[in-house]
Amino acid sequence: MTRRSPLDAPPWIKLSLIALVVTYIAIVVLLPLGAVFTEAFASGFSSWMAAVTEPDAQAAIKLTLLVAAIAVPLNTVFGIIASWAIAKHDFSGKALLISLIDLPFSVSPVVSGLVYVLLFGAGGWLGPWLEEHDIQIIFALPGLVLATMFVTFPFVARELIPVMQSQGRDEEEAALSLGATGWQTFRKVTLPNIRWGLLYGVLLTNARAMGEFGAVSVVSGHIRGETNTMPLHIELLYNDYNLSAAFAVASLLAGLALVTLVLKTILEWRHGDGLVARGH
């Protein structure tokens, strides 16, 4: 139903605004998406297949999945714990704490990677000690996981805090007064209420974790077949002028982005009220 408003009075204004927006989104968003898939299959399906199944690409895919499999669950657990503390309790300094949790959003991904190099790298604070004990963090899996965790740190908490706040504390207080323990209250009362928001937050965390480029680029060392995640493998192929292979691997990540968006749209459609009351 169209809401009556004096601003949308004559149809020609309405139609030209819609046409403008459709054209704009098509140019800004659809064109790059189309380019990825067009270039990926430009030399045929068999060369696409060859590009995504060759050993270095396979290693990159496995590494990306592994990094996400470690970073996403850890950040999810943190997100739930942090939003419980923030949304269900009152304390001073809450606004500051939320700002600090949000901080990674506004820090450049390159700086996010750099901080770990300065801590754990060869020339870093803990570098000599780590070397002595033969522990490698930078240019290895732990560094990739840490950088990914930094970058995706706020996503789950950011999604859950408003959901928990909008649901208030009455239900939890009722459960507690009936004798439930804190853990039972969380599992039986809070968790069912926040599950769609939680799923949404996990989806966003995962998409960003698998696609992160700048932060992991700084800590990876770019060892082909060893410390290259999918985005880094794409860069390597691209710089080797192997465009069709670069776009073939890129099409996998673009596919992941599309799946994420479809799931997100379905979630908003079906469980709009269980997500953040942000009006979308």
Partner 1 sequence: MTFKRRSAIPGFGLTIGVTLFYLSLIVLIPLTALVLRAATGGWAHFIDAAFSERAVAAYKVSFGTAFIAALINAIFGVIVAFVLVRYRFPGRQLLSALVDLPFALPTAVAGIALTAIYADTGWVGSLVAPYGIKLAYQPQGIVIALVFIGLPFIVRTVEPVLADLGADAEEAAATLGAGRWRTFRSVVLPEIMPALLTGFALAFARGVGEYGSVIFIAGNMPFHSEIAPLLIVTSLEEYDYAGATGIAIVMLLASLAVLLVINGIQHRERVRRGL
16-55: contacts with partner 1 (CB under 8 A): 17-18, 20-22, 24-25, 28-33, 35-36, 39
Return the residues of window 131-150 that contact partner 1 according to CB under 8 A.
Answer: 146, 149-150
Vertex 110: Cα angle to 106 and 112 (nearest 5): 60
Binding flag, residue 197, partner 1 (CB under 8 A) = no
Q: Where are the alpha helices (DSSP H) in 179-242?
A: 182-185, 191-211, 214-220, 230-239
Nearest to 214 by CA among 231, 233, 226, 189: 231
Nearest to 256 by CA among 208, 202, 198, 200: 208
Q: Which is nearer to partner 1, 59 or 138 (CB)?
A: 138
Minimum CB distance to partner 1, residue 61 (Å) = 13
Please select the residue that binds partner 1; options are 169, 199, 244, 271, rule is CB under 8 A: 169
Q: Please, are residues 154 and 102 in contact by the beta-carbon 8 Å criterion?
A: yes
Residue span binding partner 1 (CB under 8 A) among the ranges 48-56, 129-137, 191-199, 203-211:
203-211
Distances (CA, A) of 36 to 11, 88, 135, 247: 36, 44, 39, 6
Minimum CB distance to partner 1, residue 221 (Å) = 11
Number of residues that bind partner 1 (CB under 8 A): 107
Q: Which is nearer to partner 1, 59 or 71 (CB)?
A: 71
Binding flag, residue 271, partner 1 (CB under 8 A) = no
Q: Which is nearer to partner 1, 66 or 107 (CB)?
A: 107
Cα separation, 179 vs 124, in Å, equals: 52
Tokens of 207: 């998409």
Half-sphere exposure of 50 (CA within 13 A, CB side): 9
Minimum CB distance to partner 1, residue 123 (Å) = 6
Return the residues of window 206-265 that contact partner 1 according to CB under 8 A.
Answer: 207, 210-214, 217-218, 230-232, 234-235, 238, 243, 246-247, 250, 253-254, 257-258, 260-262, 264-265
Q: Please, are residues 48 and 41 in contact by the beta-carbon 8 Å criterion?
A: yes
Return the residues of window 71-130 that contact partner 1 according to CB under 8 A.
Answer: 78, 81-82, 84-86, 88-93, 95, 97, 99-111, 114-119, 123-125
Q: Which is nearer to partner 1, 50 or 189 (CB)?
A: 189
Nearest to 137 by CA among 159, 157, 108, 115: 115
Give 230: exposed, middle or buried? Use CB within 10 Å, 0-12, 13-18, 19+: buried
